[in-house]
Amino acid sequence: MTAIQSAVFYAGRRTSQPTYPGWTRLYNPIMDSASALSLSDRTGNSETLQRRLALFPRSTQIQDDRLIIGDCDVHALAERFGTPLYLYDRAELDHAAATYRQALRACWPARWQITYAGKAYLNPTLADWAAHQGFWVDCSSAAEIEIALHAESKRPRILVHGVNKSPDDLDAALRAAAVIVVDNLSELRRIAHRTPGRIPPDLWLRFQPGRSVPTHHAATQTGQRGSKFGMDEEQLFEAAVFCREHHLPLRGIHFHLGSQFWDASPFREAIYRAVSLARRIGLGDDWHFSVGGGWGVCYHEDELPEPDLESDYLRPITSWTQEACRQQGVALPCLHLEPGRSLVARAGVAIYRVGTVKRSGNRLWLLVDGGLADNPRPALYGVRYSCLTVTRPLAEPTENVAIAGPYCESGDVLIETIPLRRVEEGEYIALPVSGAYQLSMASNYNGALRPAVLLLEKGAVQVMERRETPADLIRRQGANQGGLLPLG
Ligand SMILES: Cc1ncc(COP(=O)(O)O)c(C=O)c1O
């Protein structure tokens, strides 16, 4: 992976920093002109399409020129369930879970636990899936806790995060969580205040190690000094003293350095500092240490091949943890990982219908029926996506097109430029790697209705979420139809 220097505009701010695969530049009207591809452009196109195919779930096949995922015909699903439509491939979810388990088993000689970061995407079916994988679920609000508790057949153990937990969040966490990760001293005081005479769930303290990992965007870095997350050494020490004085069950230390990274080297120092804190606050031999989540995924064929989970991530961080414990005379902890994206992103595929093909200036737009409202990531972070057509997916590209949604915002662009075969109105396209931080960050902008979400398994389909209806929106918006309420 080579870092390229690039400039990115974000919220009116221009930052120049090293970029990694997944980083995109914004639309440049000169460079991104829509054009028929020259013969030389076409060279290697079929290889590019094959690489694009490798972004999809491993079960994906082309049969009779149609995209098949989880043994289901994607075109038939789109016709039957409508679009935008989100598909999750069960086999891909299971594969990601097994890869984590195997790698941790191979790298870590003591106890370990994986927690699925529900913020990536959570519903009762996924909470159930996580519990069956032996994973805990990380929840960031009372509502996420409620969703996790609705797991259909097996309740996961729940770990609760949050930088400013509301009274409702705290009460839900105190009722249902196995672990609360305490972000700050005020929160700790509130916990003590809410649990007089009762023993709360295990508490871990969130450490701000003063290091973040290089990610595709500054907005996804969390561990750096001045970040809104966690406590520095002195604050954390103070929190530990408070726990001791109030007989609170302090059991662990947690940090999370950032999300969508492939360079684990900043972990070395962060781990060393966390282990030395564990010694300083006297966590003892039975302690828990979470190094958070954040391992990256490839969103675009140019970023392939994907770095290796075991050799590029888990092997280094587990050996640094062992080294830090040995050097400081600290017992090996129960090691916790908190992956979200790398468990679910590749399993998810978003299907859109092309409603309008339109030329504007020198661009050729494919205008589809979803975008910013179900996937704000390109607008938020400039993430670069790829796609295939659902029928004739491997047909030779002939044109560069831009793909945008229907919403009243020029930033509602899913793909700035991509070579595709000629696409007609009414056809479907499939965006791979759509399983994380898309639906969980979705909105009702312009009255957009949240898409239906299907779980695909060996030719069968489970509706994980039905499509939202206008009645769903109106039910909530009409809450005050009784007119003005007298207060007091
Ligand atoms: C505390 C914490 N843990 C875990 C995660 C999961 O990160 P990812 O989905 O990138 O693995 C996040 C994401 O931001 C997080 O904030």
Three-state DSSP class for 16? strand
In the predicted structure, residue 365 carries a pLDDT above the cut 90: yes
Ligand 1 in reach of 294 Cβ (< 6 A): yes
Within 10 A of 225 (CB to CB), how many other CB atoms are there? 10
Predicted pLDDT at 33: 43
Predicted pLDDT at 325: 98
Give the residue among 174, 168, 123 at the shortest CA–CA distance from 148.
123
Ligand 1 in reach of 341 Cβ (< 6 A): yes
Predicted pLDDT at 207: 97
Predicted pLDDT at 485: 76
The residue behind tokens 């995109």 is: 24
Smallest CA separation from ligand 1 atom 9, residue = 340
In the predicted structure, residue 228 carries a pLDDT above the cut 50: yes
Atom of ligand 1 nearest to the CA of 339: 11
Atom of ligand 1 nearest to the CA of 258: 14
Mean pLDDT, residues 71-86: 98
Ligand 1 in reach of 230 Cβ (< 6 A): no
Instruction: Work out the percent of the chain whose per-residue pLDDT is above 90.
Output: 82
In whole angstroms, what is the distance from residue 342 CA to residue 115 CA?
12
Q: Which domains does the chain have, with CATH numbers?
A: 8-91+346-474 (2.40.37.10), 108-339 (3.20.20.10)
Predicted pLDDT at 38: 53
Contacts of 443 (CB under 8 A, 6+ apart): 372, 373, 376
Whether 334 sits among the annotated catalytic residues: the reply is: no
Ligand 1 in reach of 292 Cβ (< 6 A): yes
Smallest CA separation from ligand 1 atom 14, residue = 259
In the predicted structure, residue 151 carries a pLDDT above the cut 80: yes
In the predicted structure, residue 21 carries a pLDDT above the cut 60: no
Tell me what the pLDDT averaged over the chain comes to. 90
In the predicted structure, residue 36 carries a pLDDT above the cut 70: no
pLDDT, tens only, 418-436: 999 999 999 999 999 999 9
Ligand 1 in reach of 120 Cβ (< 6 A): yes
In the predicted structure, residue 45 carries a pLDDT above the cut 90: no
Contacts of 98 (CB under 8 A, 6+ apart): none
pTM of the model: 0.90
Pocket test for ligand 1, best of 119, 161, 229, 343 (most atoms within 8 A of CB): 119
In whole angstroms, what is the distance from residue 86 CA to residue 247 CA?
47
In the predicted structure, residue 15 carries a pLDDT above the cut 70: no
Mean pLDDT, residues 454-461: 97
Q: Which residue has the higher pLDDT, 361 or 212?
A: 361
Atom of ligand 1 nearest to the CA of 181: 1
pLDDT, tens only, 158-213: 999 999 999 999 999 999 999 999 999 999 999 999 988 788 999 999 999 987 76
Pairing mode, if any, of strands 158-160 and 179-182?
Answer: parallel
Peptide bond into 432 cis (omega under 30): no
Instruction: Work out the percent of the chain whose per-residue pLDDT is above 70.
Output: 90
In whole angstroms, what is the distance from residue 284 CA to residue 290 CA?
16
Within 10 A of 248 (CB to CB), how many other CB atoms are there? 20
- Separation of 187 CA from ligand 1 center, angstroms? 20
Predicted pLDDT at 5: 28
In the predicted structure, residue 154 carries a pLDDT above the cut 50: yes
